[in-house]
Amino acid sequence: MAPGSNAHGGPASWRKRLVVAAGLVVGMFAMSGCSADEVMRFGWPEGVTPEAREMTNLWSWSVVAALAMGVLVWALTFWTITFHRKKADSPDFPRQTAYNVPLELLYTAVPFLIIAVLFYFTVIVQTKVEKLEDNPAVTVDVTAFQWNWRFAYREITENGKDGGTPIKLERPNPYGQQPDLKKLNEEAAKEKAETGEIEHQPERGPNHGRFQEIRDYLKFSTVEVQGSSAEIPVLVLPTGARIEFVLASADVVHSFYVPQFAFKRDVMPNPKENHSQNRFQITEIERDGDFVGRCAEMCGDYHSMMNFEIRAVSPEKFTQYIKARQGGKDNASALESIGESPVSTSTAPFDTRRTGRTASTVEGAN
């Protein structure tokens, strides 16, 4: 028999097995219909913003690096198991210890090098993702509450594009303002000094002097979208323009998450007092479409039902939509006026009764 052609496990046999295994792996991906792009995303959804693509690339190559390191470790492990075990036909037990100082130094240095490289690229991507620029085309105040969302357009540009003339849409907070307790105490002290008594004692709230019903940090607008148990809130945004989101909660901690943005940020009550960064921006939404958003922080009984939809349209359609809303149309009518579905198409409302869920015609809605 020729060298290398041992039918009982020689090198030729092992090469054949490796070729067959590789063919099976390639065939598996081919039959699953996965494109190379889908495989390289490792389960991440297709991003629709530059920031999402940056984060997906970081994730993908981090997984590739982890897989490469894993293959190396497993290869060394199996090499040791295969070639450094006691042979059945040999009375000698293989030596179990060996020293190679250069190799051991390399083993020590390589993990630190890998960490340094991952840290460098993480900082680069994080800096891009968290960058805040002045004068975005659209600024949206996002208010989360149990168990839905309210979106208020604080400021937009007249043409829905970057660099346009800004238009302010903010209106006063209807929840009122926190009383100025310091001023009231000074007036009470002055009143007592003059009359010997206090006719109106300043009232202090139970939450460190604040009243629970006061939500003076929340923002409101003349153009708003608010969801209910029967309606998913649809937030209309222009493509190709920088958009800023300002997050605040009216009650407990929530989390703003849009899978196609590959981004999630907690939504806190009293953001300033909680020292939370409640602003983030996206450079642009790169294509028209509807993208489901969710609350990604357990916030109570109906947390799983707390969905919303982002409807990305052209700047021209966005401008028409805003004008329709300013003209008195509700959200559904304004969407219909620009040729869009008046209701969400990426998710559907849930039945809030405990007897069961509402049947949905939206494929994959949850």
Q: With respect to residue 356, please indicate whether it lies within any of the assigned structural domains.
A: no
3-state secondary structure of 307: strand
Q: Are residues 184 and 239 in the same domain?
A: no
- Give CA separation, 186 vs 203, 208, 326, in Å: 13, 19, 44
Contact indicator for 242, 316 with CB cutoff of 8 Å = no
Amino acid at 41: R
Q: Are residues 255 and 302 in the same domain?
A: yes
Contact indicator for 290, 344 with CB cutoff of 8 Å = yes
Global confidence as pTM: 0.74
Q: With respect to residue 168, please indicate whether it lies within any of the assigned structural domains.
A: yes
Q: Are residues 68 and 193 in the same domain?
A: no
Domain stop point among 168, 189, 213? 213
Q: Are residues 199 and 248 in the same domain?
A: no
Cα separation, 155 vs 157, whole angstroms: 7
Contact indicator for 357, 344 with CB cutoff of 8 Å = no
Q: Are residues 170 and 27 in the same domain?
A: no
Q: Are residues 248 and 103 in the same domain?
A: no
Q: With respect to residue 184, please indicate whether it lies within any of the assigned structural domains.
A: yes
Q: With respect to residue 358, please indicate whether it lies within any of the assigned structural domains.
A: no
CATH number, domain containing residue 243: 2.60.40.420
Q: Are residues 233 and 269 in the same domain?
A: yes
- Give the DSSP letter of residue 225: E
Reported in sequence order, the residue ranges of the chain that DSSP labels E, i.e. its strands, are: 138-145, 148-157, 166-168, 170-171, 220-221, 224-226, 234-238, 243-249, 254-258, 263-267, 279-282, 289-295, 307-313
Q: Are residues 165 and 263 in the same domain?
A: yes
Q: With respect to residue 361, please indicate whether it lies within any of the assigned structural domains.
A: no
Q: Are residues 165 and 237 in the same domain?
A: yes
Domain stop point among 213, 230, 257? 213
Residue with token string 């982002």: 310
Nearest-10 crossing angle of helices 50-83, 101-129: 160
Q: Are residues 30 and 56 in the same domain?
A: yes
Q: With respect to residue 36, please indicate whether it lies within any of the assigned structural domains.
A: yes
Q: Are residues 194 and 220 in the same domain?
A: no
**Burial (CB count within 10 angstroms: exposed 0-12, middle 13-18, buried 19+), residue 292:** buried
Tokens of 301: 């009984």
**Number of domains within the chain:** 3
Q: Are residues 198 and 63 in the same domain?
A: no
**pLDDT by 10s per residue, the chain, length 366:** 445 445 445 556 666 666 666 666 666 655 555 566 666 666 777 889 999 999 988 988 888 888 888 998 899 888 888 877 777 777 777 776 777 888 888 888 988 998 999 999 999 999 999 999 999 999 999 999 988 999 999 999 988 888 888 999 998 887 666 666 677 677 777 777 777 665 555 555 444 455 555 677 889 999 999 998 889 999 999 999 999 999 999 889 999 999 999 889 999 998 988 888 999 999 999 999 999 999 999 998 889 889 999 999 999 999 999 999 999 999 999 999 999 999 999 888 876 665 544 444 444 444
Q: With respect to residue 305, please indicate whether it lies within any of the assigned structural domains.
A: yes
Domain that holds residue 321: 138-177+216-337
Q: With respect to residue 275, please indicate whether it lies within any of the assigned structural domains.
A: yes
